[in-house]
Structures are given as C-alpha cells and as structure tokens.
Amino acid sequence: MDKIALTNVRVFDGQRLLEPATVVIGGDRIGGDRADARTWDGGGGVLLPGLIDCHVHLTDDATLTALARNGVTTALDMGTESPELVASLRGRPGVTDVRSSGASATSPASAHAQRMGRASGLVADPDEARAYVARRVAEGVDYIKIIIDLPGFDEPTVRALVEAAHAHGLRAIAHAATSGAVLLGQAAGVDVLTHAPLDRSLEDAAVRRTRTSGEAVVPTLTMMEATAERLRGIAPVSYDVARAVVGDWYRAGVTVLAGTDANQAPFAPASPPYGSSLHHELELLVDAGLPAVDALRSATVLAAQYFGLADRGAIAAGKRADLVLIDGDPLADISAVSKIAAVWCGGIPVTDVPNQTAETR
Ligand SMILES: [Zn+2]
C-alpha cells in the first residue's frame, strides 16, 4: 500500500489543534519513516481522527460509502436483523469499519415490536433473555442492544439481558427515549443509554445516577429533533426536553458520545442520512451545551475508549490510519467538520472526495 507524507496539517490531538506538521500514513497505520513516502500537501487544513458514529443501523454498501465520504470511518450498528448482512459489511477495505449488536432485543408487548411486526429479537422473560444473548454471542456480536419501550419490558427481563451480556464480556446498550425508560434502564444496570427523553426532564437524582453508575449516553439529538418534529401535535414530546437533558448530563460529568440513528428502516419515526447527520449531531451537541472540543471528543477519542476500540480515535503512531482532513477550525466553529477535503479509511483514500493533487517527491 502507498505510503503518504501528509504535510502542512494541523492535527487535533484530542484537546487542541497543533502547529502545522507532517503525518505519515504507512499502509493501514499512522506513522513510519517518511523517506520513501509520496508527499501530499494538506494545505494547512485540520486533520481529525476518523469520526465514530455510535448509533447507526446497517443497510448496504452504499450507506457505508456515504458514511466514509463524510469522514465517519467507524460506525456502531445498534440493531440489524440479518446476521448475514452484518457479516457481509464487516471488514471491508476502504470504507467505514463497523461493529454490531445484531438484532436488538424487544419486548413482544412493546409498541416497537408491534410497529416492526417482526419475529426475531423478541424477549418475553428472563429465560428468553439469556437464550437471546447466547444467540447473539454465537453470531459474534460486539455488544447487546435492548429496546426499552414502555409499556413493554419489566425490570427483571432487562436485568437478565444486562447480566447475560456482562457474563459474556459485552456491554448492554439501551434505547431509552422517555424518562421512564431511562429510569428502568438505570435500575437494570445498563451500560449505555441511547436517545434522550422527549417527554419530560430527568430529576437531578437520575442525572447524578447516570454519572455515578458510569453510564455513557449516546443522545442521537439528530434523531430526537426529527422525531419531535414528526410527532408534533400527535404526542406530548418536545425536542427542548431532550436538549436540556443532554446539557444536564454533560454538566454532571456524564460521558456523552456522538451518534445519529442513521437508518433506512420503513418503520422508523425519522431516518437521518448516513454520514452528514453526524456533522449535524456535533452542532446539536454544541447547541446543548458541550464545548466544541468535547463534541469532537464525543465522536473520536471518547467513543473509541468507551467501546474498547483501542486502535483508533486518536492521531498517533501505530493507530489505524482513519483520518479526516477538513477545511476550517472546528474548535472555533463546529460546522467546519462538514467541510471535508479528504478521508482515509485504514490508510485507503476514500474515492470521489475532492482531493488535492498528490505530487511525488
Ligand atoms: Zn436506532
């Protein structure tokens, strides 16, 4: 594979932008001797670690390409029915790298299950919970996704899912889009809450508990904004509630991670686009109270750390060469993240990005 010396780039080191410097891309890794590398002038642009979207639903090749072109080099699937589809999208060179929960666990009594009208992933009681997790483990999933949609699951069933996940060394991620679902998830000991309540704010105690129990949150404000808009006048929901809860979580010291819920499911209340929605999510996180640096961290270093992706999330020698070159300073204006100049997925330049011409030294 080509070795490239990317010159004149300002690296985001997880805290600040460094002075213009050279980053060597040696095969699929960052680093190495630049002696035999082609030089590529980065034009003074800002180099970010490849972005991580902590909540998508897998669809097909085209959506992986859309993610990659928008700088999302890792996507964490939070619910895909077909293990064959997941397997076919894993480990593809030159596009977004994926992790997956496989099918999500749903109570047969929930509106979610009825809306989706599906047979797989239904979990009625603790015994079925253990069997469900064992099936996902056999498929090779990376974590367990639980849809807490009330009325539906009871606490013993969610707890059984969480305990079975933990017994297999996997994290349990809970869909919780109402304050009641957040409380049930917390009581059952889930590791990650995804979405944010649209119905009513969390009491201070619940906000603090998110912090003290070490839960991370993936608010998917992009999805909550679109859902609230869709349900306006139909259900008692408000985007302002979700936005305020995210601000409360952040100020309480909760780990906030970036995710969008990008999907193409016909039953979903909204379908954020793949890739570009993560840029919007970062803007919404800033609007909710995160400093730009923490919004960037939520989609890079923190996401990698929290999900155990030790080989990415930072620009350092030996890490996977997942890189995004952008035109503008995202710490001054987070919307600069959408000004993509070039993307590398595991050292492979993503095609059809308006790159500068490479010159040979
Ligand atoms: Zn989702």
Quote the DSSP letter at residue 13: -
| CA nearest neighbour of 94 among 131, 67, 121, 116 | 67
Cα–ligand 1 centroid distance for 278 (angstroms): 14
Q: In terms of Cα–Cα distance, which of 125, 202, 197, 131 is closest to 159?
A: 125
Neighbours of ion ligand 1 (CB under 5 A): 78, 261
Tens-place pLDDT, residues 264-301: 998 888 999 999 999 999 999 999 999 999 999 999 99
- How far, in Å, from the CA of 214 to the mean position of ligand 1? 22
Say what the pLDDT of residue 231 is.
92
Report d(CA 267, CA 54) in Å as an integer: 21
Distance, CA 24 to ligand 1 centroid (Å)? 36
| pTM, full prediction | 0.96
Cα–ligand 1 centroid distance for 187 (angstroms):
21
How many H helices and E strands in the chain? 12, 17
Ligand 1 centroid to 202 CA: how many Å? 21
Residue-level pLDDT at 33:
86
Distance from residue 114's CA to the centre of ligand 1 (Å): 16
Please list the ranges in the chain whose pLDDT falls under 70. Answer: 1, 116-119, 351-361
The predicted structure's pLDDT at residue 148: 95
Distance 68 CA to ligand 1 centre (A): 19
Give distance in angstroms: CA of 261 to centre of ligand 1. Answer: 5
Asked whether the beta carbons of 257 and 218 are under 8 A apart, the reply is yes
Strand positions, DSSP E, the chain: 3-11, 21-26, 29-30, 38-41, 46-49, 51-56, 72-77, 97-100, 105-106, 144-147, 172-175, 192-194, 216-218, 255-256, 323-326, 340-345, 348-349
pLDDT score of 20 = 97
Q: In the prediction, which pLDDT does 112 show?
A: 78
